[in-house]
Amino acid sequence: GNEEARILTNMGVLYRHLGDPVKALEAYQQARKRFIQWRHVAGEIGVLRNVGILQSASVGDHEAAVKTFSEAIELAQKTGNKRTEMQGRLYRAEARRLLGNIDDARLDFEASLEGARSLGAAEEQWKSLFGLGKIAEAQGQKQEARQLFESSLSIIESLRARLSLSSLRPGFLADKRAVYDAMISSAFSGRPDQQITASVLGLMERARARTFQDSLGKSIEVIQKRRAPEATKRLKDVREQLTALLPRQLAASRPDHQLVAEYNRLENEYTRVENEISQEVPLGSALPPELKAVQQALGPARVDLLVEYWLGDGYLAWVWATPTEAGTGSSRPLPPQMLSDCLASLSDPNEVGWRSKCREASQLLLQPIRERSLPSGRRIVIVPDGILQSVPFEVLEMPGGRLLIEQAAVHYVPSAGVLLDRPSDRGWSSRAPWSESLVALGNPVAVKASPAGSFETWEALPHSEEEVLAVARLLPGRKSVHLGAGARKQELPWTGGKSAPILHLATHSTIDLESPDRSRIIFSGTPQTGPFDYLFLRE
């Protein structure tokens, strides 16, 4: 009965993600019949939501989606479930916006916002505000749109990592990045000046900080537990109480003011304890850096130019900064195949025409560097975004056909804030000659033969040993060098109490685009781990 209907619903979701809307719709229709047969209204509403998303997002039939979401809303009204009705209006609002029915879309977004506020549903609140902002933007009301986007961001940045009252379906309504993107895009509508430059940099850094918090929250908690055990335990207790409230909140069909008040009390307590921990463990809790602070950090870091990129919806934006100047730039539209064609040619060892295939990308990506006219030998720091993290800027062409690496030293950081976290550079003279200066690992090998048909094997990297030894020769002090079978994960500095300021890895790594948490760096294995060992993203 109900179990069979749920399986059919999940099959429909799977077919939709696999790009087969016909089979997905068939599975949804069968699931709905089962739910109707067993008079399971909540299940039927869930199927209708999925059908509406399929019609709008996969097929592009927004008009049919509006009718489907309306049917779901009517069912929710009959059962008196305010939460389900509110979410149905949010879905219908987005479908109406995509259809171009702006007035009705606004009414639905306003209704979903009111319902979300009465139910204390933060996720639905920021999505409703963002939808209203997109409508205001489409009508040329730029100031109102920006205010709505900022209100949406305020809620996003107050949300606890991995704590959400939402049961919304992913992949149809806007994600958090879209809100930052809308703010950055709207900032470029005004006349470029120092205030706009600072605003754009702040938004880029806020977005990166949010992504970091959401993806690496578990790792941050481990460090917090080690450094602030008592406060971390109190935080865990409050989180467990909040988590216990989630099912009751989700099940509430009408506003429960006592429940909302208790949730708000716990949220305030959570924030108080979290702030207490941030005083002892500032990791991941610092505010995004201000432009002036970033510029002041460039000199001590011996950086001549910083360029931070943002890949928006059909456009590329950037902020550039030197110790004395700063500015922004953008390019619209962004050719969709430009970056993928360039990367494909660079990854093909037999491709001899990679320069020509990357020429358009070079002209666009290096524009902020070309315009600065830096002398040769300068130091450039790049903060890439999205697919740009896979682009080797060093091999992009500057005017005259020279590669960027031939004119400048190129470095990459995940955020401009990294420059502010850099320890004071007092030179090596302040370190004792016997102190450890380097931990380096290279050329990992399997400790035993991989079994036939094993999941993955890795080739030897003999030249990586030369690389590690060359780096070690450059540095004073004591060096901890681990090569071949000795390049094990447990030799990493944070696992053995080492205090070396420099870690150098010359090994394999892999990025898993389907499951980013499985992206990993490869080390030599042990009898316990098998042929190889891994350091995963969350670690």
pLDDT number for residue 120: 78
* Residue scoring higher pLDDT (350 or 512): 350
Residue 453 has pLDDT above 50, yes or no: no
pLDDT band at 165 (very low <50, low <70, confident <90, very high): very low
Query: Running DSSP on this structure, what letter comes out for residue 460?
Result: -
Mean pLDDT value across the chain: 85
pLDDT number for residue 164: 46
pLDDT number for residue 161: 45
List b or e across 130-139, with b for residues whose CB sees 16 or more CB atoms inside 10 angstroms: bbbbbbbbee
| Three-class SS state of 521 | strand
CB burial of residue 224 (10 Å; 0-12, 13-18, 19+): buried
What value, to the nearest 5°, has the Cα angle with vertex 462 and ends 460 and 463?
A: 130
List b or e across 160-173, with b for residues whose CB sees 16 or more CB atoms inside 10 angstroms: bbeeebbebbeebb
pLDDT number for residue 518: 84
pLDDT band at 80 (very low <50, low <70, confident <90, very high): confident
* Residue scoring higher pLDDT (376 or 88): 88
Return the minimum-mean-pLDDT range out of 35-44, 412-421, 448-457: 448-457
Cα–Cα distance measured from residue 55 to residue 71, given in angstroms and rounded to the nearest whole number:
14
Q: Which residues pair with 488 in a beta bridge?
A: 524
pLDDT number for residue 127: 96
The percentage of residues in the chain with a pLDDT greater than 90, rounded to a whole number, is: 52
Residue 191 has pLDDT above 70, yes or no: no
CA distances for 445 relative to 332, 388, 484, 487, angstroms: 47, 31, 5, 8
Residue 429 has pLDDT above 60, yes or no: no
The percentage of residues in the chain with a pLDDT greater than 70, rounded to a whole number, is: 84
Residue 29 has pLDDT above 90, yes or no: yes
Dihedral sign, Cα of residue 491, residue 493, residue 497, residue 498? positive
List b or e across 306-317, with b for residues whose CB sees 16 or more CB atoms inside 10 angstroms: bbbbbbbeebbb
Residue 361 has pLDDT above 60, yes or no: yes
pLDDT number for residue 224: 65
pLDDT number for residue 112: 97
Q: What pTM was computed for the model?
A: 0.75
